[in-house]
Structure 1
């Protein structure tokens, strides 16, 4: 079973190289990518079952004894998020193939999209599975390097500036990340997360607090918490729908995962908790208010993405088992729902010819299938029962109430208010763009763009993939009982730290 741990990283990298070789045969290239991602879904499911039943699955690469070698570890948290993430990547890939986002107006498929998509998958997998800070940095860089190509390819004049903003901010945060790794190694002599659990705790309080703040800033930029969110609403809406969907679903959530992992393993005291609760409250409210002010569908969804990152930081800041369980549930829910909303947004723009909410109208009558596909994840994101968003929010609100501190109460009140603001923002879209009388489409996209817009023609793979992610939210709600049990056990492991340390270092070293 240990041999399965590196496969989510190795398989997409090998397939990316092969995808370049067979790039002149588009059908083979597409089939290869679908098969590889499907295989990783199976591997991730097997790792989750094993981790949940028998504890973390660990592989020490090269046979080096920890903490000196490279450690890959799949515990309940990483295996669960890996499984959900790859399922979403597979659905988005099917959407991209149906949209023919890679065609560039010709019969054959461009070779750039598929290899870079697989490299992105490898980076996401490595970030989830690595057991040390340096290879967490490597995972982010692999992921971001592929994202630079995906967000900038086929750029026109309108897309260059937002793409450059994304690249510059990402490089800046990566520089801070590398600096953080260097400081941690200089202070402790190790970058292994399990080994750092004990050594960071022995550092002077000032240095320890500085490292906690530096990590929060690094992962705060990458996860787009307020006030470090400025880059996201300008960057994501300019990319094609599949690229935006996979970025919104995964990139910020990988950063949230890194924040959860480092804060619980290395810090987790009352001071950092209060700081995170304040950031969470600010992120929820600023993001939701920003969404209400938007007249562009993708920008509105991008601000809502920022807002709902605040829910995850809220649960983390409580540093309780129920709070962390709520975070895990919310991340799983949000990966599926946010990806679905951006895919449906792509269908809306394809149909209406514009992302401007002023020029979209009557879609419930002209395209009722797309209207239904939008309504379900919109209600889910707002937390309407009995959908998965409601389940996750109830757990987080219960955690806030049990924490019984003024800041926790304030964050819980902010979470309730944010849910109403989210519902208001999405209701504006529904009333103005779906429920009113149809008007002629007014395309405002670049006429040289080869992606078909302003047409009612929508391919079956696009509808099926968007529908599958919409249905995933309902499945998550239906499986709330078993999923809550897994998230409870994962949250207990995060607070205990013992199972993680023993799995990586061994019982003797972890005990000493």
Structure 2
């Protein structure tokens, strides 16, 4: 049998190596884009390969040859491989969009020698966070993201961007400090930060200590994921950045926080002691976020608030702590990455043609740029959850999981989800009508749509539609990923072979296998567990 584990580090190694290469070529601006595009294309190919291979079980690489739990390992399972594939496609499209924008402007609003290495480092940080099987290495991935994103968000050096970047980095550093405190406390309590080994040791420590550790991790990740009330920083930070930067931030950075919540909640804290708290946070995130969106007259800020609002859907699915909820949440994350990124790229084109993102100044764009009207309308309806698009399918899965849970709080979240979806539709239709149908206050300047910018945007719109047409296989894939969350021993056995576990830890794995087999047998026979 062929050993394919050598593919696992590539999504991290290729961008890091290419970042150094592009930095060394700072005097050759025509070569830098070739290196960057080639690197991200290779990462996409590697991610697709992992997506297929991980369906047969997790692929594990021990970095430096040091086996877990002593060394750091990279783990490609269904969840991480799916996130990698979607994020790789998004980063490649955004890079192509930004290159075309630079060519069309025929000017360097930001130093090219900085942009390409930083963008590649950002891609490496995202991949490292998704693949890491070690809490400390996830922290390293977050810090890589912080360093790269601070450079990108302040490109151009305008006053507004520096101000927004300062807010962003202060909040991110606060989250990092919380994460570091959580890491220190976890290591003090368990003697390890390896995810697989933590899943075996955490159940044996004091329940109150375990709850404290869970709260610390959730706070750190909730800031990064923009979960209310820790989301106020996002609408002020993202809209000031250049369109490609805003797009990649909106599509990916908050989802890394959501991914970390999924991974830790399902693997380390499966008991669900904080599920009710998470459900209230999900409801507040949905409602407060969408009310903020309805009140906006700037498309960028409107989309920033919808971004916050729809994080609530993902937290809702996680908080249900059922395989149905996890399945829908993972599917919704994949959907939202593509659709939200596409919308921000479209807004960049709107600003280019209309000269503004203010809905009070825009108008008549449907006549001026009908292609742009379609490119905005399709992902907007997808985000609003219009049937039969992927947004509708993801929301329907979440609603069904909530109804199946049958608790009063779950029913309240179902109602909140429907209301949020209707308000999302209202906000996006209002924006579309004002930008594309109403008569403009000022005569719009004749603008053209560079094909190099339209192409990547259309590609992401088509990817969003592809999630609809491939909904059956993709939903089945996320269902298998959710089943692996419940059967934690699949992950544990892949990372910690029998020889690397202590006697007590091996017994715990055997006990969990037995419990799972008993539950499966009860499900098949219809008996009560």
TM-score (normalizing by structure 1):
0.95
In structure 1, what is the Cα distance between the partners aligned to 2:198 and 2:121? 29
Residues 200-258 of structure 1: CA deviation (Å, up to 9, x unaligned): 11111111111111111100000001000010000000000000000000000011000
2:44 paired with 1:49: no
User: Which of 495, 504, 512 is the matching residue for 1:504?
Assistant: 495
Partner of 2:437: 435
Aligned pairs (5 A) from 1:17-56:
17-52=20-55, 54-56=56-58
User: Which of 476, 491, 499 is the matching residue for 2:482?
Assistant: 491
Give SS of 2:30's match. Answer: helix
In structure 2, what is the Cα distance between the partners aligned to 1:205 and 1:321? 24
Residues 415-465 of structure 1: CA deviation (Å, up to 9, x unaligned): 0110000001001111211112244258xxxxxxxxxxx651321110001
2:226 paired with 1:235: no
In structure 1, what is the Cα distance between the partners aligned to 2:161 and 2:457? 24
Aligned pairs (5 A) from 1:337-486:
337-440=339-442, 456-486=447-477
In structure 2, what is the Cα distance between the partners aligned to 1:129 and 1:107? 34
In structure 1, what is the Cα distance between the partners aligned to 2:97 and 2:210? 45
Give SS of 1:131's match. Answer: coil
User: Which of 325, 328, 333 is the matching residue for 2:327?
Assistant: 325
User: Which of 2, 7, 10 is the matching residue for 1:4?
Assistant: 7
Greater RCO, CA 8 A, separation 6+: 1
Shift of 1:108: 10
In structure 2, what is the Cα distance between the partners aligned to 1:34 and 1:226? 36
Shift of 1:388: 0.5
Q: Tell me if the contact between 1:102 and 1:109 (Cα under 8 Å) persists in the aligned partners.
A: no
Give SS of 2:249's match. Answer: helix
Partner of 2:149: 147
User: Which range is displaced more, 108-117 or 396-405?
Assistant: 108-117
Give SS of 1:225's match. Answer: coil
User: Which of 63, 66, 88 is the matching residue for 1:64?
Assistant: 66
Partner of 1:191: 193
User: Which range is displaced more, 130-139 or 59-68?
Assistant: 59-68
Residues 157-206 of structure 1: CA deviation (Å, up to 9, x unaligned): 22221111001111111111111111100110000000000111111111
User: Which range is displaced more, 282-291 or 22-31?
Assistant: 22-31
In structure 1, what is the Cα distance between the partners aligned to 2:272 and 2:159? 48
In structure 2, what is the Cα distance between the partners aligned to 1:272 and 1:468? 39
In structure 1, what is the Cα distance between the partners aligned to 2:112 and 2:50? 34
Change (3 A) 1:441 1:81: farther
Partner of 2:269: 267
Give SS of 1:59's match. Answer: strand
Residues 364-420 of structure 1: CA deviation (Å, up to 9, x unaligned): 111111110000000000000111101111110000000000111111110011000
Change (3 A) 1:13 1:441: farther
Q: Tell me if the contact between 1:26 and 1:109 (Cα under 8 Å) persists in the aligned partners.
A: no
Q: Tell me if the contact between 1:383 and 1:419 (Cα under 8 Å) persists in the aligned partners.
A: yes
Partner of 2:248: 246
Question: Over aligned residue pairs, what C-alpha RMSD do you find?
Answer: 1.5
Partner of 2:210: 208
In structure 2, what is the Cα distance between the partners aligned to 1:498 and 1:98? 47
Shift of 1:511: 3.0
Aligned pairs (5 A) from 1:88-167:
88-100=90-102, 105-106=107-108, 110-167=112-169
Partner of 1:445: none
Give SS of 1:73's match. Answer: strand
2:8 paired with 1:15: no
Q: Tell me if the contact between 2:326 and 2:482 (Cα under 8 Å) persists in the aligned partners.
A: yes
Give SS of 2:60's match. Answer: strand
Shift of 1:103: 7.3
Q: Runs of 4 or more off by more than 4 Å in structure 1? A: 101-104, 106-109
Partner of 2:222: 220
